[in-house]
């Protein structure tokens, strides 16, 4: 059974979740892990020198639990899919068809700065959008914990630049996606690339 782990990372509000949801419906035997599901409780998020709770840093996330979740998928994609309510084509057709590809999409804003997770990906995509567009999109979002005034300029954007610089200085192999393209253009580009990767692996 072929297993592929695809990372969809990049800037906040860049379109990661939209792309992930569309791909997960189109790709066979596809499960999804969202990094946002691994945030620690608010009372465990430190307040930094910038005066803001440090949501956009690695320590705000339970990365060990996230890696364990990905490992659980690696060990048994069919069991993982069943426990997450995902119907697989093997299940629909014939349980003996276990030779086909199973795909896990891991989506999040800070995927490529944590080596235990970084090393698990077969493909890595990274979406970017300019500062002004990112700020505009962020201002229209409704979060469970609302952004306090000044958070974007004082914490979110600086942390994005910091982590992106760390990723680039480590020469992480990512395929860059222009988040200013239409949703269809981004989806078609990634979908074709994944299909080619799957075909070349058979």
Number of H helices, E strands in the chain: 9, 5
Catalytic residue among 36, 50, 153, 178: 36
CB neighbours (10 Å) of residue 50? 13
Quick count: other Cβ atoms within 10 Å of Cβ 41?
7
**Which residues are within 8 A (CB) of 86 and not within 5 positions of it... i.e. 6 or more apart?**
29, 30, 31
Is 36 one of the catalytic residues? yes
Asked if residues 31 and 81 have their Cβ atoms less than 8 Å apart, the reply is yes
φ, ψ dihedrals at 56, nearest 5°: -100, 35
Residue 124: C-alpha distances to residues 25, 135, 142, 168 (Å): 19, 24, 28, 13
- Which residues carry out catalysis? 36
């Amino acid at each position: 059974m072929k297993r592929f782990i695809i990372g969809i990372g990049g800037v906040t509000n860049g379109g990661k979740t939209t792309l992930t949801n569309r791909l997960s419906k189109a790709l066979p035997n596809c499960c999804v892990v969202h990094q946002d599901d691994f945030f620690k409780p608010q009372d465990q998020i430190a307040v930094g020198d910038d005066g803001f709770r440090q949501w956009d840093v690695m320590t705000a996330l339970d990365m060990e639990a996230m890696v364990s979740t990905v490992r659980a998928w690696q060990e048994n994609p069919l069991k993982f899919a069943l426990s997450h309510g995902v119907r697989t084509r093997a299940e629909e057709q014939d349980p003996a068809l276990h030779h086909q590809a199973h795909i896990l999409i891991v989506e999040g804003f800070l995927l490529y700065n944590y080596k235990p997770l970084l090393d698990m990906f077969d493909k890595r995509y990274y979406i970017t959008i300019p500062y002004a567009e990112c700020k505009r999109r962020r201002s229209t979002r409704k979060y469970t914990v609302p952004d306090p005034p000044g958070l974007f300029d004082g914490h979110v954007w600086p942390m994005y630049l910091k982590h992106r610089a760390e990723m680039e200085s480590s020469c992480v192999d990512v395929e860059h996606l222009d988040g200013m393209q239409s949703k269809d253009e981004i989806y078609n580009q990634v979908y074709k690339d994944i299909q080619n990767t799957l075909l070349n692996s058979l």
